[in-house]
Amino acid sequence: MVAQRTLTPSTQVRILAGQPLITKEFGVRLILAIICLISIFFIPTSIALFRDSSKKWGIFLVNILVGWTGIGWIVALIWAFVSESNKEKNLRLNSYKN
């Protein structure tokens, strides 16, 4: 036995009137929402790039591979703030030479 899907009255009216179920306005809002979510997702990587972190590629990989779990995103965010910049790294390495 196949279960039939019932349509809401507003959906039935739209179908009968020949109106599309997904409007252009909905599509624009969907694209903007996706862009905002991707921007939020890459905040740890953006911070690492902005700070010129010496670990930016590692932060990027953590962000991409396990950032979607939420915990991985928080780890990447903390790592982006805690990691030293290339300038700090060079100063530290030069201090050992002297």
Structural contact between residues 52 and 85, judged by C-beta atoms closer than 8 angstroms: yes
**Three-state secondary-structure class, residue 52:** coil
What is the reported pTM?
Answer: 0.68
Q: pLDDT (tens digit, 9 = 90+) per residue, 41-87?
A: 999 999 999 998 989 999 999 999 999 999 999 999 999 999 888 78
Cα separation, 4 vs 15, whole angstroms: 17
Contacts for 43 with CB less than 8 Å, ≥ 6 apart: 77
**Three-state secondary-structure class, residue 85:** strand
